[in-house]
Amino acid sequence: MAGTAHLTSAAPTAPPSPLQLPAQPPGAGPLPGAGITVAEALALPCLAGARLVAGRQGAERRVRVVNIMEVPDIVRWMRGGELLLTTAYALRGDEDALSALVPSLAARGLAGLGVKVGPYLPRLPQAMLEAADELGFPVVELPGEVMFNDILAEVIGTVLNRRALSLERSQEVHERLTTAVLRDGAYQELTTVLADLAQCPAAVLGADGTLLASAGNPPGDTGASTQRAIGANASPAHGSVALWCGQPPTEDQLAALEHAATLAAMVAVQERAVAGRERRSRALLLTELVSSAPQDRAETARRAAAMGWELQVPRAAVLVELGDVREGTETTELSAEERLLPFVRAVVGPRAIGWGVPSGLALLVEPGESLRSVVRAVYDAVATALPKTQVRVAAGGVQADFADLHLSYREAVTAMTLGRELHGTDFVCEHRDLGVYRLLDQLPRRELSRLVDEALGTLLAYDSLHEGSLVHSLGVYLARDRNGVEAAEQLHIHYNTLRYRLKQIERLTGGFDRDPMSRLQTELAVHAHRLLTARARG
């Protein structure tokens, strides 16, 4: 027949191993592993003498069941994957309807159409064959003596046997992978067994593509042949399991990959649970270290050694904050510890101890040659990694004894708190640079409040009653070393306005500049007021 490809069935042969079936062509009906291909069906004894007369390119479509056409509207009863057999009796004498049947069956996802040439259909219409070739839909010409019952029994029996063998092999794969996970509980053992089963390189990749475990030397310059997301919800956020097959993956490789991805989710859950317990243990010990002197030095040292921490070296506490903590920081899926530590590790060294705190990150770092250099390097690393984010870094003093680390941490908190008040929302501040604030910070709150009330009480009352800013204006004036021009410029007011405010301050305080003691007390009170304000804001 002109323009039609013919494939005569071969002598009966044993079907190939269910683990070596060819991959399913895209869009060609049921999923891989569900049945046998049309080409394999034609090799069965029941189809001896049958010919594939059209749609040869669809010979790899999969047959999962056989059905017989008894009524013209059979298409609406099809679910896909069927090899439909017919004598064309229901459409006898209507070549147009028979030709239109092929596109309908192809659209429904059937595997192919077997037509018995005989009294009801002496020959297959040319339009039907051309449509089948165009769609890649197999049309098989059946000899007149073939019995449909024989085809039904043998094809369905082969499909069921193939499925049973496939399930048996799948169970073996699952058992090997499960045993590997239960024995070792790590990605590496799972990957090693997967590579052996699939006979090709395999790997477990993190969500960002990082290689977590591998076997068989997967090529670094070539993408994986196929991969599956870890977890039942197939979310790439948990990473993936990948194979490098060098060719389209076979069904046994895909089955092993599916099982491995499911078991990798179990490993991921286990690792997250272990990591969570470690984080809680770390957090508890760190909280003890930075809260007060340890009650049992030996026990604290033992627990720190179990964590891999070296406490017998001088360290200083460093705090890192992102964004504006007063207004709330932008939330992300990753914790501050996960976001910041990778950037900071490169500059503080592997022995630095870091952990997440509500406002960002806390560190216990070795000062090296200069703590100032370390603190600046931390700021630069975070600011470079997050250029659109405000970064604040504060440090306490260096402590040689780990029992005194709580003092350094307290100093770092003070430096951060005062830094926000003195320097705004983006700064580097060390406790040793706080000057007189270091002295004031040692005083009880009651004494600080008394100092402020005695020197600035009348100004604070006036500001509260009139919504004024006399105290702030006085602070800027003193910070500018009593330079009225520079103070007015910083306050964004006219010089005469500042002069008027200073006269009000003189009147309300009785003369803050009348003698050296008054000047000193006023300046200390201004600083004490800023310290109390910073503490109140947190």
Each residue's pLDDT tens digit, 337-357: 667 788 888 889 888 998 888
pLDDT band of residue 336 (cuts 50, 70, 90) is low
pLDDT band of residue 325 (cuts 50, 70, 90) is very low
* Predicted local confidence at residue 232, as pLDDT: 54
Of residues 216 and 15, the one with the higher pLDDT is: 216
For residues 239 and 206, give the distance between their C-alpha atoms in angstroms, rounded to a whole number: 4
Each residue's pLDDT tens digit, 100-132: 889 999 998 999 999 988 778 888 889 989 999
User: Average pLDDT in the 388-399 region?
Assistant: 93
With residue 194 as reference, give the H or E element that holds it.
Answer: helix 187-198
With residue 168 as reference, give the H or E element that holds it.
Answer: helix 148-184
| Residue 133 near residue 162 (C-beta atoms within 8 A) | no
For residues 409 and 407, give the distance between their C-alpha atoms in angstroms, rounded to a whole number: 5
Each residue's pLDDT tens digit, 134-166: 999 999 999 888 888 888 898 888 888 877 777
Identify which of 29, 47, 36 has the alpha carbon closest to the alpha carbon of residue 116: 47
pLDDT band of residue 479 (cuts 50, 70, 90) is confident
* Predicted local confidence at residue 334, as pLDDT: 52
Q: Could you tell me the sign of the dihedral formed by the alpha carbons of 40, 46, 51, 52, in that order?
A: negative
For residues 442 and 333, give the distance between their C-alpha atoms in angstroms, rounded to a whole number: 40
* Predicted local confidence at residue 21, as pLDDT: 29
pLDDT band of residue 252 (cuts 50, 70, 90) is confident
Each residue's pLDDT tens digit, 504-529: 998 998 888 778 888 899 889 999 99
Its pTM stands at 0.52
